[in-house]
Amino acid sequence: MFTGLVETIGTVSSLSPLDGSVSGGNGTSLTISDCATIMEGGIALGDSISVNGTCLTVTEYSTSPAWFKVGVAPETLRRTNLGSLVQGSKVNLERAVLASTRMGGHFVQGHVDTVAAIIGKTPDGNALTFRLQPREKGVLRHVVEKGYVTLDGASLTVTAVDDAEGWFEIMLIAYTQEKVVTSAKAVGEEVNVEIDVVGKVVEKSVVGYLEGTIGKEGAPAILEKIVGRIVEEKLRALQK
């Protein structure tokens, strides 16, 4: 579990293929350096570290100089932007939370739902507005204005959503721009997206309730009508 508050930006110092007999497929081993900050307080084999919002396990490490290795499975490479990393790439890093950690962000699992392409990057004073289009459009049903979303491991607030056109927006203030890798990305590049788990839990609970009361056949149709009505109302309000 993470908070979505990026602790530091690390550097991919090397990449190497994993032995398929060990990993269950040809994955990649990443060595991350420039990570002394997250080594403070101790690190151990098997620890979980969020790398660009992806929960990965420490397999090797050194404290002097500071670096650690993580293995990235083929499924993770397919579902995230980690497959596009090269030597020298910058990545957001965060250690798993402690019981004493202040929850300044939101509950982040490190389980990436999809990637989103940056389709717009617009200055707004000293802030930057990013417009993002997710590869799997279905995740948009969980993305709501003023709600939480995790981009490359950073907890951010959604500022706008367009379900019809399939995009949402977030804003990076000047301070955040200096602390995350997203600010340096250009239109056309991709970010990892994890939607708020609360939305997924609520949806499954509602579907389960409806299936228990009106049956499995009718539940999806009613839920679709409810969501459709909400979307239509929002679109009408925007057109006024």
3-state secondary structure of 185: coil
Contact 57, 71 (CB under 8 A): yes
Alpha-carbon span 53 to 114, nearest angstrom: 11
Contact 49, 58 (CB under 8 A): yes
Alpha-carbon span 158 to 186, nearest angstrom: 19
Question: Which are the catalytic amino acids?
Answer: 2, 48, 55, 57, 73, 111, 157
Which tokens in the block code for residue 229? Answer: 């009505």
Element (H, E) at 71: strand 66-72
